[in-house]
Amino acid sequence: MDKKELGKLLDYARVSQNLRDCYGWDGRHADPVTMKSVCDMQSFFAYLSSQVGLKKIKVPDVTGHPNGGLTLEWEKLIKERGKYKMDFLALTFFGDKTVTLESDLEYLGIKNHEEFDLTTPLNNTIIQHVNYF
């Protein structure tokens, strides 16, 4: 990812928050994406890029979460011996200074579901997962 792509990502996150700034934005009963969630994601990305370098981070998909959070998703399709495997990583920010990591790295045999505090130094698990993609 370069600075231009990062700018687009952050702009998209802000637009997502504005577009989903109403109850039921998903056609069901989703809570609005909170500005705190967007701010937590921006702070996380600033810190992550300072640790691993912006160019090493693949651009994630950004989606709203029905509980008012914002999710960054990475996917990798791997073909091995004629079979496909889909690895994924999702980082969800709820605006409470935490990030929830969910991953299924089938290729590496790793599944995780953990919550991390954003007020402490970034956990190596997150850095390793993001670097994998």
> Domain residue spans in the chain?
3-132
The pLDDT value recorded for residue 108 is: 77
What is the mean pLDDT for each group of 10 consecutive residues in the chain (133 residues)? 67 57 63 85 85 83 85 89 89 93 86 90 83 86
The pLDDT value recorded for residue 33 is: 81
The pLDDT value recorded for residue 25 is: 58
Residue-wise DSSP of the chain: --HHHHHHHHHHHHHHHHHT-STTTTSSSPBPPPHHHHHHHHHHHHHHHHHH-GGGSPPPEEEE-TBS-EEEEEEEEEEETTEEEEEEEEEEE-SSSEEEEEEEETTTTEEEEEEEETTSPPPHHHHHHHHH-
The pLDDT value recorded for residue 94 is: 92
The pLDDT value recorded for residue 27 is: 62
